[in-house]
Structure 1
Amino acid sequence: MEPITINNLTFAYPGQEPLFNHCDLNISSDWKLGLLGRNGRGKTTLLKILQKQLSFQESIQTNLKFNYYPLVIREPNDYTLNVLMRSGYQGEQWQIERELNLMATPTELLWQPFSSLSGGEQTHVMLATLFAQDGYFPLLDEPTNHLDQDGRKQIAQYLKAKKNGFIITSHDRDFLDKVIDHSLVIEQHQLVLTRGNYSDYFVHKEQRDSTAIKKNENLLKDIHHLKQTRQAKSQWAQQAENEKKNNSHADKGFIGAKATKMMKKATIMKGRLDTAIEERKGLLKEIENVVPLTINVLPTNHQLLLSINDLTLSYPTKQLCSNITATIEKNDQVLLCGNNGTGKSSIINAIIGTFSGKQSGDILFSSALKISTVRQDYSDNHGSLRSFASSSKINYDQFLNLLRKLGMERATFNVPIEEMSMGQQKKVELARSLAEPAHLYLWDEPLNYLDTYNQQQLIQLIQEKRPPMLIVEHDQNFIKQTATKKIEI
């Protein structure tokens, strides 16, 4: 067991508020630690600091060597085994095969081009490579992205069975409950450590929030009372000054001295009250609130928006899906479900005309149908938010307002999109879709990289507005609360 000791950690990106402010922490290497927190709070940054990829104040002491998910992938069209070997892996092929067997994942994937694997299959082979490497402590940044429900169960069982520890970030509550035994949460520039899984942390947080809300209510009452007292004292002193002005010359000496004394006393009292008010304001605690989102749904007189008839998709060496028939009507929230590699994303690409493989069957649209998408891969989003809004033909002010509601700090508005965190980039992609006027929304794994607050925002929005949607998603809580029907592949 090797410790990770953090002493007085402070870190901020240039021109931004500190992500961490004088933080102290001790972590044991045998913990299965969930690193949690809202997007943009510094989860990935902390993982980079542990790997000494960023400079920071004070120290982190450990003898551990770290490896990191996702791997840096070079020449993805090569065989998967060759790609993994180039990623920095220093072990043997049989060790990777051993880990794949523990995941119940076919070892034949190693002899397929990495680029041909589904997102879930790529996750499996990269995780296998990390855990096959002896003498390293794994840092896992959002490994549940792109995993279907069966894949998440497989990886959860695999990680739970591991004897060694790791640090993992994820926003899938059910997955974390099965995997972690400690939670480290970034809250208001501080690191909050809790023993137990995500649900244990959430119960603890609700108790702290409930206590904080009661304290806030009492402090606000104190502040209101102090302000009333301050106003009364000011009026009292002003009355004395008016009395001085309105009396005869004979009385002015006495009254003037009295007024001066009262004014001085009132000034001292006001200063004390001001100090007391500011002290109580400083004690107020910030409570996370779920702010409602908006969506720019266009009205339509068409009941049937989209019809898919006998759709079959394939690549030269791989069959994806066959004979898919389905309809989407204006009140539908349709879940497109199936295992990784069965062609869910490819169906969305076929609908919008970007599928590059072989396609047969019909896709029919209602007249003048406008479609908005949330894509899995949005690496082509770049530049300033203003130029991005302009090129996307969306209202800039509405776009920024949605980003603020999603929790993006105003300071981030000046950061180029390609330099934002993955969670912030996902919010840009999502806010663009919400701001686009559309009759139908095609969302491909919209919850990837979004924290639980953002997930709840989307659930509330879909439940209240019921926009017509075709969704690919694996989060069971989201599916249960939003989907009105399913298309099985």
Structure 2
Amino acid sequence: MAQINVSNLTFGYEGSYDNIFENVSFSIDTNWKLGFIGRNGKGKTTFLKLLLGKYEYQGSITKTAVFDYFPYRVNDVKDLDKTADELMEKWKPQVENWRVLCELGQLEIDAELLYRPFGTLSFGERTKVMLAVLFSGENDFLLIDEPTNHLDQNAREIIKKYLASKKGFILVSHDRDLLDACVDHVLVLNRASIEVQSGNFTSWWENKEKADNFAKAENEKHIKEIGKLKAAADRSARWADKNESTKIGYDPVKENDRSISARAYIGAKTKKMQSRVKSYEARIGRKIEEKEGLLNDIETIKDLKLMPLSHYKERLIECRNFSLKYADSDKTVITGLDFELKQGERVFLKGKNGCGKSSLIKYILHASGTTKMLTTGTFSIAPNLVISYINQDTSHLSGKLKDYADQHNIDYTMLLSILRSLDMERVQFEKNIEDFSEGQKKKVLIAASLLTPAHIYIWDEPLNYIDVFSRIQIEKLIERFKPTMLVVEHDVRFMEKLATRVVEL
């Protein structure tokens, strides 16, 4: 057991206007199961790379631990042709094969996968093999960066159970269910600070809501007190001016002693009033200082809007005893499916990767002219149906946001407005989309979908890489506008909160 001490850490990328970290200090223990939480673009992956010594920085990071990082790099096509057994010596030098085999057993995966070309393995199989190698060392402090993206619910459950049995890691994840099951401390990148707390995601979130509500109440209290003090100061200033004006016309030479005495009294009273004004102003200054910073760390989750269309038919999609396979394959992807989607429903498709969820979506999107798919049974879709679609793949995104908006016939200003509401920094708007992080690319797809009035919103794994705050923001949007949706999403909390029906393939 050792500590990692971060002191006055300052770092920013070359050419960037702002530093990602500014005089940051905190300590963490290498025996912890540490969840790493923060908005997209706040610097989680950057901090992991700083621990690995990838970048130069100001300040100090004192550590005695040896770090290892997930996911391991698979550099090129040649690596994909190699087996995991061949690659793991490069990933983790001097790794012992028997240890990896023991970890594979805990991950419920066959050892035979070590000897297949790595490129032939599914996302889930690659993740499990890499995690087995990662945890096969001794006394390492492991940096695990979003291990469950693209994984189905079954694979997520296995990895959740596996990580819950381990310790000595930092886990970057936006999956609330995973964080609750696997971590005993959290490291949180707030808007203006960094905090370390014991507990899991839910305990931190509850503490955060209490702290935010207290800060808002204190802020309101200070605003009211400042208002009262300003009003009192203004009254005192006006009284002082009024009293001072009554001295006009007095001539000490011509007036008798009584008049001179009255003039002195008025002057003293005015001076007292002016002193009271200064006292009010000083108190106002102290209240303003106390107010400053109260709301700096509050995540403002702005309300989003959606424009669902209403269709004259209640049942929008229906299939009975429906089977589907690709024309160039003998394998049937979907067999004997009975499925329908009515207006106002939010149907979530559930099942292992490869069970046909994305294939069903592709068929619905191109139902009128799909030549690469062969089907049996009945399938019907309402006429003139407008669909807004989010693809799980972001590799097609490139160019400027303005060009993207023009290509998809959406309002550029509104696109930027929604991206700002999803907490994307304005500096990103000048970059090419291919230079965005994966989370930022997903936000572009989500924003475009929200700007498309539609009868059905079909979202295929929309939340991969999306931060927790944006997930909650999207949940609130869907609860408010109740669009008709067909969704593939493995975030358990998201599905439990929003699904009106779950269809398992």
Deviation at 1:384, TM superposition (A): 3.0
C-alpha spacing 1:72/1:390, structure 2 compared with 1 (3 Å): farther
Pick closer, same or farther for the CA change 1:345–1:194 going to 2, 3 Å.
same
Q: In structure 2, what is the Cα distance between the partners aligned to 1:48 and 1:105?
A: 29
Query: Structure 2: how far apart are the matches of 1:399 and 1:92?
Result: 51
Aligned equivalent of 1:33: 34
Alignment partner of 1:410 is 2:426: yes
Q: Could you say which residue in structure 1 is the equivalent of 2:352?
A: 339
CA contact (8 A) 2:222 2:287 kept: no
1:461 aligns with 2:477: yes
Shift of residue 104 of structure 1?
Answer: 0.5
Distance change in 2, residues 1:270/1:209 (3 Å): closer
- Measured after TM superposition, the shift of residue 434 of structure 1 is 1.0
User: Are 2:171 and 1:168 aligned?
Assistant: yes
Given that 2:7 and 2:25 are in contact with CA atoms closer than 8 Å, whether structure 1 keeps it comes out as yes
By how many angstroms is 1:219 displaced? 1.6
CA 1:44–1:453 in 2, change beyond 3 Å: closer, same or farther? same
Work out whether residues 445 and 471 of structure 1, in 8 Å CA contact, stay in contact via their aligned partners in 2.
yes
Show the counterpart of 1:213.
216
Q: 1:282 aligns with which of 284, 292, 313?
A: 292
Contact preservation (8 Å) 2:189, 2:195: yes
Q: Is the 8 A contact 1:313 1:321 kept in 2?
A: yes
Cα distance change on mapping 1:278 and 1:213 into 2, 3 Å:
closer
The partner residue of 1:298 within 270, 287, 309 is 309
Distance 1:239 1:365, change over 3 A: farther
1:351 is aligned, of 364, 380, 385, to 364
What TM-score does the superposition give when structure 2 sets the normalisation length? Answer: 0.84
Which residue number in structure 2 is paired with residue 329 of structure 1?
342
Change (3 A) 1:86 1:446: farther
**Partner residue, 1:150:** 154
CA shift in 2, pair 1:396/1:3, >3 Å: same
Q: Deviations over 1:184-230 (max 9, x none)?
A: 11123322111222233233323323432332232222222233234
Larger deviation, residues 173-182 vs 6-15: 6-15
Displacement of 1:146 in angstroms is 2.2
Q: Determine the C-alpha separation between the residues in 2 that align with 1:125 and 1:318.
A: 27
1:228 to 2:241 alignment:
no
Go from structure 1 to structure 2 and tell me whether the alpha carbon gap of 1:167 and 1:385 turns closer, same or farther (over 3 Å shift): same
Q: Which residue of 2 aligns with 1:311?
A: 323
Give the Cα–Cα distance (whole angstroms) in 1 for the partners of residues 33 and 316 of structure 2: 47
Measured in 2, the distance between the counterparts of 1:424 and 1:88 equals 28
1:114 Cα offset (Å):
4.2
Letter paired with 1:6:
V
Q: Output aligned runs, 1:38-437, within 5 Å.
A: 38-73=39-74, 74-75=76-77, 78=81, 81=84, 84-85=87-88, 88-90=91-93, 91=95, 93-112=97-116, 114-133=118-137, 136-162=140-166, 164-236=167-239, 239=242, 272=282, 275-286=285-296, 287-308=298-319, 310-313=322-325, 316=329, 320-353=333-366, 359-361=374-376, 364-437=380-453
- Tell me if structure 2 keeps the 8 A contact 1:18–1:189: no
Change beyond 3 A, Cα 1:118–1:319: farther
Offset at residue 430 of structure 1 (A): 1.2
Q: Which amino acid aligns with 2:447?
A: A
Q: 1:401–1:275: structure 2 CA closer, same or farther, 3 Å change rule?
A: same
- Corresponding letter in the other structure for 1:338: G
SS class of match (1:206):
helix
Change (3 A) 1:82 1:295: farther
Aligned length: 485
Task: Specify whether residues 122 and 440 from structure 1 end up closer, same or farther in structure 2 by C-alpha distance, changes over 3 A only.
Answer: farther
CA, structure 1 residues 296+189, in 2 after alignment: closer, same or farther (shift >3 Å)?
A: same
Letter in 2 for 1:149: Q
CA contact (8 A) 1:334 1:487 kept: yes
Answer whether contact 2:230 2:280 (CA < 8 A) is retained.
no
Identity %: 37
SS of 2:171's partner is strand
Following TM superposition, by how much is the alpha carbon of 1:484 offset from its aligned partner in structure 2, in angstroms? Answer: 1.5
Normalized against structure 1, the TM-score is what? 0.86
Contact 1:118 1:341 in 2 (8 A): no
* TM-superposed deviation, 1:471: 0.5
User: Structure 2, unaligned stretches of length 5 or more?
Assistant: 253-262
CA shift in 2, pair 1:59/1:317, >3 Å:
farther
2:499 maps to 1:483: yes
Q: 1:62 to 1:195 in 2, by over 3 A?
A: same
Shift of 1:415: 3.8
Of stretches 262-271 and 87-96 in structure 1, the one that deviates more from structure 2 is 262-271
- Once the two structures are TM-superposed, the CA of residue 92 in structure 1 deviates from its matched residue by 5.2
Structure 1 residue 122, shift from structure 2 partner: 3.0
Q: 1:295/1:130 Cα in 2 relative to 1: closer, same or farther (>3 Å)?
A: same
Shift in Å, 1:11: 2.5
CA contact (8 A) 2:179 2:200 kept: yes
Change in 2 beyond 3 A, CA 1:262/1:135: closer
1:257-312 deviation line (CA, Å, top 9, x unaligned)? 99997998698568636633531331533433433211132232232323345132
Output the CA distance in 2 between the equivalents of 1:195 and 1:2. 17
The whole-number CA distance in structure 1 between the counterparts of 2:32 and 2:154 is 25
Could you tell me how far apart the structure 1 residues matched to 2:225 and 2:357 are?
57
Q: Report the 3-state secondary structure (helix = DSSP H, G, I; strand = E; otherwise coil) of the residue aligned with 1:22.
A: strand
Deviations 1:15-48 (A, max 9, x none): 4444333222222222111111233322222112
Q: Which runs of 5+ in 1 are unaligned?
A: none
RMSD value over aligned CA atoms?
3.4
Contact 1:72–1:87 (CA<8 Å) still a contact in 2? no
The 3 A distance-change label for structure 1 pair 92 and 363 is farther
SS at match of 2:50: helix
Which is further off, 271-280 or 96-105?
A: 271-280
Distance 1:465 1:206, change over 3 A: closer
C-alpha contact 1:295 1:435 (8 A) present in aligned 2: yes
Query: The residue matched to 1:449 in structure 2 has which SS?
Result: coil
Q: Which of 1 and 2 has greater Rg?
A: 2
Helix, strand or coil for the counterpart of 2:292?
Answer: helix
- Aligned partners of 1:240 and 1:262 also within 8 Å: no
Structure 2 CA distance for aligned equivalents of residues 186 and 103 of structure 1: 31
